[in-house]
Structure 1
């Protein structure tokens, strides 16, 4: 037998209207005691509000759409999405993932779901943002400026670590794949800017084609001097590591390598790859808090804290700075 809001109202000793408002997010209109009675009655009876009715009442659904940039889908991104999705599920929301393409990340099919919120892991175009907001969706994202600042800071941290390890010649390494360049370009820029400002010799950016022969062809262009490589991510770092070893370059004496993500891939490589680590749980919980608080001001303050929490996880692909 299906439980109705009438049953919940009878058990809690309130009206059906009160049940509807409490269970549809308008708890602030009632006393804490009333809210507790309604929720206890609903839980005891196993009652869940109708999704269709809730969507009709407030104009949006219980769906959150996370737009994932069309880049390498690594294990750390999966970790982030696990934390975000499980947090949303506990609060009664469903997180749907959508691969954001350059052509049309906000199709009519997305808007047809009447999402409560859209989380974008890459900055949206202003036209897309306005379109979502016109349809009542909360938009949670880093601003373009904040994202570029964060990526620049990552490159700077990489260069700083390589310099502390004793390398006086530095190169940034990025994937040839143009889909990665939105994030790769500012990271390489951060490497160049910090290195030049601190008197290091900067080589042209190394473009690595992640194919069978591509990494060796790129690394073969490097001069036969000790140098540090700041790789766009751990995947590029692993490709450079393998190519350098294939070409007889000693790691880390001839070539030092630092990646980004602190992925399992970096930790199980031989030698283990030094990497920049994100506080994934903090980032996911910040976005979750913004969604639950319906706070579009998330954008830049939390991005600054993400930057502050960046840290270098040392592997054997660079020498320990304290011993240099």
Structure 2
């Protein structure tokens, strides 16, 4: 296997020059010198040593992306795929890890010396401090920004249903504790909108994502038309199935709106009205911040960068808005 010394000899350059170019310090040299090193490396089939690059640069080529402890739905996977593609194009490897204990994350950081850490959910302050104390670049959405985004999603859902003519709403959330970090702000946002507009709100309905898990909740609905604000498309699908099973009609007896614009919302019969967000924008923005060594705090009003791109995708579970 060719070494950097072999590349230096083939290119007719010093080992120091070749080592610096191969370890990411191209900006110190002319384009001609860089081209000679790359050409020699290609001819010799040189492959950099991960351990050597880590030692030379102080970091590895690995990025750790922390996945929130929620249902790993297709939209979350799409976001991860976009981030991974951008990092791969920059020569980095994206390692996925579900958010776990502070100690396990600490051990990972020490062992891998990552180029950076991306957290797709707000981190506990203590965990965030430990990452930064090790000199690791961290991209994480501030908790207040994530809460603002979820509250705006709930407000948008409630507004769409009231614009569609429903004067009574109910919020539907999953019973799973791990979803509450996102579910509670969405519930607050929907109820805040209703309070501001004088719209009646029924007690929150809780459903289990299992067979028959929404039947009892749907049975509590009054006979009059009700607009249902569902935490996401999976919850909406569970409610839809239970309501149709009980002989309720949509959108006549109940309106329904989910979140995620997932394939199940589009493929469902009837199709589910849902809130979409710009996954591509978010994925490219996250990777871009990491590669440029910037922070979320460097972005003006990061929550609005997301909420300004929210939109409702109309399905069969709501009539066309009247305003």
Q: Distance in 1 between matches of 2:238 and 2:297?
A: 36
Match of 2:66 in 1: 67
Q: How far does residue 11 in structure 1 lie from its aligned partner after superposition?
A: 4.7
Which has the higher mean CA deviation after the structures are superposed, 144-153 or 200-209? 200-209
Aligned 8 A contact 1:143 1:300 in 2? no
Q: Distance in 1 between matches of 2:187 and 2:309?
A: 20
Q: Distance in 1 between matches of 2:315 and 2:275?
A: 11
Q: Distance in 2 between matches of 1:223 and 1:69?
A: 36
Instruction: Decide whether aligned partners of structure 1 residues 245 and 31 sit closer, same or farther in structure 2, where only a CA change above 3 A counts.
Output: same
Q: Indicate the SS of the match to 2:185.
A: helix
Query: Where do 1:254-265 residues align within 5 Å?
Result: 254-265=253-264
Q: How far does residue 241 in structure 1 lie from its aligned partner after superposition?
A: 0.5
Is 1:202 the counterpart of 2:192 in the alignment? no
Q: How far does residue 166 in structure 1 lie from its aligned partner after superposition?
A: 0.9
Instruction: Decide whether aligned partners of structure 1 residues 111 and 169 sit closer, same or farther in structure 2, where only a CA change above 3 A counts.
Output: farther
Aligned 8 A contact 2:175 2:208 in 1? yes
Q: Which runs of 4+ in 1 moved over 4 A?
A: 10-13, 102-105
Q: Distance in 1 between matches of 2:177 and 2:104?
A: 17
Q: Indicate the SS of the match to 1:210.
A: coil
Q: Distance in 1 between matches of 2:299 and 2:278?
A: 16
Aligned 8 A contact 2:115 2:136 in 1? yes
Report Cα offsets for 1:12-39 as digits up to 9, x if no partner: 4533222222232223323344334434
Q: Indicate the SS of the match to 1:256.
A: strand
Q: Indicate the SS of the match to 2:105.
A: coil
Instruction: Decide whether aligned partners of structure 1 residues 299 and 223 sit closer, same or farther in structure 2, where only a CA change above 3 A counts.
Output: farther
Is 1:30 the counterpart of 2:66 in the alignment? no
Aligned 8 A contact 2:171 2:205 in 1? yes
Q: How far does residue 43 in structure 1 lie from its aligned partner after superposition?
A: 4.0
Q: Distance in 1 between matches of 2:253 and 2:168?
A: 11
Match of 1:268 in 2: 267
Is 1:307 the counterpart of 2:307 in the alignment? yes
Aligned 8 A contact 2:173 2:230 in 1? yes
Aligned 8 A contact 1:170 1:227 in 2? yes
Query: Where do 1:86-101 residues align within 5 Å?
Result: 86-101=85-100
Q: How far does residue 213 in structure 1 lie from its aligned partner after superposition?
A: 2.5
Q: How far does residue 122 in structure 1 lie from its aligned partner after superposition?
A: 0.8
Number of aligned residue pairs: 322
Q: Indicate the SS of the match to 2:138.
A: strand
Q: Distance in 2 between matches of 1:100 and 1:165?
A: 39
Which has the higher mean CA deviation after the structures are superposed, 256-265 or 97-106? 97-106
Normalising by structure 1, report the TM-score. 0.93
Q: How far does residue 121 in structure 1 lie from its aligned partner after superposition?
A: 0.9
Query: Where do 1:1-324 residues align within 5 Å?
Result: 2-101=1-100, 106-297=105-296, 301=300, 302-321=302-321
Aligned 8 A contact 2:168 2:201 in 1? yes
Q: Distance in 2 between matches of 1:287 and 1:34?
A: 33
Q: How far does residue 92 in structure 1 lie from its aligned partner after superposition?
A: 1.4
Q: Indicate the SS of the match to 1:137.
A: coil
Residue ranges of structure 2 left out of the alignment (5+ in a row): none
Q: Indicate the SS of the match to 2:234.
A: helix
Normalising by structure 2, report the TM-score. 0.93
Q: CA RMSD in A?
A: 1.9
Which has the higher mean CA deviation after the structures are superposed, 253-262 or 35-44? 35-44
